[in-house]
Amino acid sequence: MQLYLIRHGQSENNHLWATSGSNVGRHEDPELTPVGQQQAALVAEFLQRTDPAQADKASDPQNSAGFGITHVYCSLMVRAVATGAAIAGALGLPLVGLRNAHETGGIYQMDTETGEPVGLPGRTRSYFETHYPTLRLPESVDETGWWNRPREQDDEIPPRAQRILNMLLSHHGDTDDHVVLVTHGGFYNYLLMALLDIPAGRRCWFGLNNTAITRIDFDLDRLRLVYMNRADFLPRSLIT
């Protein structure tokens, strides 16, 4: 398996933080900004490119011949679904939503009086069916929303990351599949820590720009981190 971890395009919350340095006005499940939409379109175009003249390269560590993506997964947060829909649409592939691939914390908002996080429902099945009709939803997503629980605690995140990795490995680990997972900057760190056996309490941070790509190859008994945070397909003005 070749695994491509891609962060969603710039969200309204990303823009809020970049311009104000504050979370005041934060949305629990933000949409993409116009910049984020452009980023999503460009990463989709980039993944679609092919160059048959380069096809004889053994490992093709820069994907000169193309990507040959076979599967596209995304979290159920709207910014990831919108990015995944652009990618899957360009590649003519199904988009499969995963409940456990969400950003750390889940769907929540801060109570203005108590300052405590309050869990919220998340988008409903009818919302997704109306706005993203090609998205394949888990059967458990209904009209009550897909979250409906308190804010996720920090100690819940590492085992969730491991569950996502276990799922990907069980479905694709011993195959030649090229798999995209559209996820989030915080959760991306936990995925890498799980892959690299870094203890959950270790202080580290792996940067990932909006729509940047990290490629990890699973070759027999070894793991190859081929590249991280690749965003050379974006113009400088769209790197966020």
Q: Which domains does the chain have, with CATH numbers?
A: 2-56+64-238 (3.40.50.1240)
Task: Report the b/e string of 139-158 with b at 16+ CB within 10 A.
Answer: eebeeebbbeeebbeeeebb
What is the pLDDT averaged over residues 110-119? 89
List the one residue out of 170, 171, 224 whose CA is nearest residue 58: 224
In angstroms, the Cα distances linking 14 to 69, 110, 145, 158, 179 are: 27, 17, 23, 23, 26
* CA angle at 192 for the pair 218 and 12, rounded to the nearest 5°: 120
Write the DSSP symbol of residue 149: S
What is the pLDDT averaged over residues 88-115? 95
**What whole-number distance in Å separates Cα of residue 198 and Cα of residue 188?**
13
DSSP H helical segments within the chain, as ranges?
12-20, 34-48, 78-91, 125-131, 157-172, 185-195
Q: pLDDT, tens digit, for every residue of 149-164?
A: 999 999 999 999 999 9
List, in sequence order, every residue forming a beta bridge with 218; answer none if it has no partner: 223
pLDDT value, residue 25: 79
Q: How many residues does the chain have?
A: 240
User: Would you place residue 22 in the very low, low, confident or very high pLDDT band (cuts 50, 70, 90)?
Assistant: confident
pLDDT value, residue 57: 63
User: Would you place residue 236 in the very low, low, confident or very high pLDDT band (cuts 50, 70, 90)?
Assistant: very high
Question: For all residues of the chain together, what is the average pLDDT?
Answer: 94
